Amino acid sequence: MSLMTLLPFIVLIGAMFLMTRSAKKKQQQAADMRNQMQPGSGVRTIGGMYGTVKEVSEDTVLLDAGPGVELLFAKNAIGAVLSDDEYNRIVHGIEHDLKSDEDLVPDDASSLTGPDDSAASDAPGDKVELGKKDEPAADAAPAEAKTDEPLKKSEGDSEAK
């Protein structure tokens, strides 16, 4: 066999080797992360549950998920060990890196309007009517009479009568 016929097989074997190597590297990093867990660390499970590590044994982790809620998970079920800042931001909503309260975007549009002038806007002269005025249409009766008649089509006319 020539080198040209073996070249696709060599490339395929090389690609498989690189893929398995990267997968093993990711597995090793995940195992190291799980072994670094200590009581008090904030974690996220692979199912998306957040909790604080209470106890770590060889194969299991006891998590405190809330007041009076303790859950036992397999170590393999821990998806990530979170830093204290990240855990507090996600679970408790505490932000440490805010510059000031003035930079925050408000939840409503109250800052887009002027000061609260609700008493002045309640005056009867300031009301704006958005609906149509009730004026009787002049053609109302003939229009109703036309709708009761069956529609007729003629070959030359494009309008229905």
Q: What is the pLDDT of residue 73?
A: 92
Q: What is the pLDDT of residue 66?
A: 86
Q: What is the pLDDT of residue 12?
A: 92
> Please, is 95 exposed, middle or buried when counting C-beta atoms within 10 Å of its C-beta (0-12, 13-18, 19+)?
exposed
How confident is the model over 90-99, as pLDDT tens digits? 887 876 555 5
For residue 19, give the H/E element and its range: helix 3-35
Q: What is the pLDDT of residue 32?
A: 83
Determine the distance from the C-alpha atom of residue 17 to the mean position of all C-alpha atoms in its chain, rounded to a whole number. 37
Q: Concatenated DSSP letters for 81-133? A: EEPHHHHIIIII---S----GGGSPPSSGGGGS-S--HHHHTSGGG----SPP
How confident is the model over 95-135, as pLDDT tens digits? 655 555 555 566 676 666 766 555 555 555 667 777 777 66
Is 74:59 a contact under the CB 8 Å cutoff?
yes
Positions of the chain with pLDDT lower than 70, given as ranges = 1, 95-107, 109-112, 114-126, 134-161
Q: What is the pLDDT of residue 31?
A: 82
For residue 148, give the H/E element and its range: helix 140-148
